[in-house]
Amino acid sequence: MALAYHEELDKKNTLKLRKLQKDLPAFCNAFFRGIDQITASRTKIAYAYDLKVFFTYLMEELKLHDSIEQFTISDVENCSIPELEEYMEYLKYRTKKKKNADGEMETVDILNHNKSIKRKISSLKSFYNYLYKAGLISSNKASLLSLPKLSQEEIIRMDQGEIAEFLDEVENGNQLSKKEREFHEKNNVRDLAMMQLMLGTGIRVSECVGLNLSDLDFNNNGIRIHRKGGKNVTIYFSDEVESGLRAYLEERKLKIPASGHEEALFLSIQNKRISVRSVEKMVKKYAGRVTPLKHITPHKLRSSYGTNLYQETGDIYLVADVLGHSDVNTTKKHYAALEEERRRSVRNVVRLRKEEGES
């Protein structure tokens, strides 16, 4: 199953987290141990990055210590609410020194929008909340911080006409450059199978690249995937998707997978398991020819599927289940505009009084 792929990914993330923790105060290790069983590895890595920004603020702006390693829990507890609010201001715009291409240090500007600020403050709240519940600090001042409000973003997706054009481009590559067509001739069957699968099931790009040959079940037209949170589920695909997968499998039989990648369903040109980054580039290449103004990503393919499913069924709970949303409110938030459109469309369905001559 794809589980082996995700276990390997978790292993790499765990090693990366351990490396990041070395740049944080030693007492932060208790936080990461405390959340280990309830937090995804990628989320913990994001926490580590965000906490480093926080301690950098305390060091550079409040001049508390000369290095991050010198901080203690008392420093965290003694931060006042105004200082935490100043941190939110600091996040909007700050500078950072980094090496350029010539190996020289230079100052770069970092501008964060509300979405990024909200994530970093949420990380800080989780950190303070753990320390407070564990009895390591006597008060949780971060809980009093207000998160920035985010404007409701329009769902970027492809309509059915654009999806058809997109798949035509994946299949034929008519608008690709000469160099791109050379690669296209070698990979178009694989690319079409992947794009049809993602557009036809709404699976995440990480779920797609993590598929193994054994995860395919043509008897029931289903694939077994490893969801976020560790849950394994079966997702069903259409006859059109099946056709693309079977065509790719015939081609895959002619390939010799690299060592350690024998079970991977989708192989790269090097005959290794294809990476998330490669799929992101693939989608960008094809979508850029068909919908250049929409900036379509693998996640937007997922949004396109969710939109089409909701428009066809009107069942927000079904959409939430198929997309793997643990909370239907997450789905409702993303498809609120479509719900409003459906409510408006039925305004004349119920008639209070019939017109003369109607039975």
Q: Give per-residue pLDDT as tens, 193-234.
A: 999 999 999 999 999 999 999 999 999 999 999 887 677 889
168 and 249 in a common domain: yes
Percent of the chain clearing pLDDT 70 (strictly above)? 87
Q: Of 138-152, 201-215, 263-277, 334-348, where does mean pLDDT reach its minimum? A: 334-348
Residue 276 CB partners (closer than 8 Å, separation 6+): 205, 206, 209, 298
Residue 106 within a domain: yes
Residue 151 within a domain: no
Distance CA 355, CA 334 (A): 39
Q: Cα angle at 80 between 75 and 82, to 5 degrees?
A: 135
Residue 292 within a domain: yes
182 and 330 in a common domain: yes
Q: Cα angle at 52 between 51 and 58, to 5 degrees?
A: 90
* Domain CATH code at residue 241: 1.10.443.10
- Contact by Cβ (8 Å): 2, 212: yes
Q: Of 73-82, 145-154, 262-271, 345-354, where does mean pLDDT reach its minimum? A: 345-354
Residue 346 in this model has a pLDDT that exceeds 70: no
Residue 349 region, left (φ>0) first, then alpha (ψ -120 to 50), else beta?
Answer: alpha
Rg (CA), the chain: 25
Across 158-162, 188-192, 355-359, the highest mean pLDDT is recorded for 188-192
- Which whole number is the average pLDDT over 251-275? 94
- Which whole number is the average pLDDT over 149-156? 70
Residue 285 within a domain: yes
- pLDDT at position 279 is 96
Q: Of 114-118, 227-231, 261-265, where does mean pLDDT reach its minimum? A: 227-231
Distance CA 123, CA 88 (A): 12
Residue 154 within a domain: no
For residue 26, the SS3 value is coil
What domain count does the chain have? 2
Residue 132 within a domain: yes
Q: Of 1-5, 96-100, 156-160, 310-314, where does mean pLDDT reach its minimum? A: 1-5
3-state helix, strand, coil in the chain (%, to 5): 60, 10, 35
Domain boundaries, position 87: 3-144
Residue 106 CB partners (closer than 8 Å, separation 6+): 97, 98, 99, 100
291 and 171 in a common domain: yes
Q: Tell me which of 31 and 115 has the higher pLDDT.
A: 31
| pTM of the complete model | 0.72
328 and 183 in a common domain: yes
- Contact by Cβ (8 Å): 96, 108: yes
Residue 22 within a domain: yes
Percent of the chain clearing pLDDT 90 (strictly above)? 60
- Contact by Cβ (8 Å): 263, 213: yes
- pLDDT at position 298 is 93
Residue 149 within a domain: no
The domain boundary, picked from 144, 174, 202, lies at 144
169 and 116 in a common domain: no
205 and 316 in a common domain: yes
The domain boundary, picked from 144, 177, 201, lies at 144
169 and 135 in a common domain: no
Q: What's the chain's length in residues?
A: 359
What tokens appear for 58 in the block?
A: 């305390």
- pLDDT at position 332 is 73
Question: Between the CA atoms of 100, 58, 148 and 92, what dihedral angle is there, to the nearest 10 degrees?
Answer: -30
The domain boundary, picked from 119, 144, 169, lies at 144
- pLDDT at position 342 is 62
Residue 13 in this model has a pLDDT that exceeds 80: yes
195 and 104 in a common domain: no
Distance CA 225, CA 203 (A): 8
